[in-house]
Amino acid sequence: MFYKVKKITSITYSIILIALLIVLDQVTKFLAVNNLMNKDDFVLIPNVLEFHYLENTGAAFSLLSGKQLLFAVITPILLIALVYILIRMPQVKKFTLLNYIIVFIIAGAVGNYIDRISNNYVVDFIYFSLINFPVFNVADIYVTCSVIALFFVIIFYYKDEDLEEIKRSLLFK
């Protein structure tokens, strides 16, 4: 009984965090549209960081530009898989970090998916001019940082038996 309550509580917190992260992403995009569209760039740190409005029809760094149908199909499939993993993952302390990583990936994917469905493009507005880095948004930060973190926790933090425990939890019982 305690396990089910703990699992429901964890999933509830995850849903609330996902919603808050999506709201933050959408608010920043709304502000970018209202304050940057058809205007000069807003320089925060000269030659380093600026806000630059861009409508991105591709994925990260404008890869697969114009492939909206592909994103419309793949994103829901990815989201279903991530939600399934989030729900089925063991609710033990050692997997808390992985839980957060999945939450941030979901929030980033949903944030950009909202743009793709409503606008046929994603609003990007953060630009590191110091290294001429591609323009990105808050949802991109969620996904990129989470995927990097996922790589490191799988390689350096979790042991093989931890990954096997997750794998077993994902199988139908």
Indicate which residues carry an active-site annotation: 124, 140
* CB half-sphere exposure, 98, CA atoms < 13 A: 24
What 21-28 contacts at long range (C-beta under 8 Å, 24+ apart), as own/partner pairs, is 21/103, 21/104, 21/107, 21/108, 21/111, 21/142, 22/107, 22/110, 22/111, 22/114, 24/138, 25/107, 25/108, 25/111, 25/137, 25/138, 25/139, 25/142, 26/111, 26/114, 28/125, 28/137, 28/138
Alpha helices in 37-137 (DSSP H): 68-88, 96-119
| Separation CA 84–CA 43 (nearest Å) | 42
Cβ atoms of residues 49 and 129 within 8 Å: yes
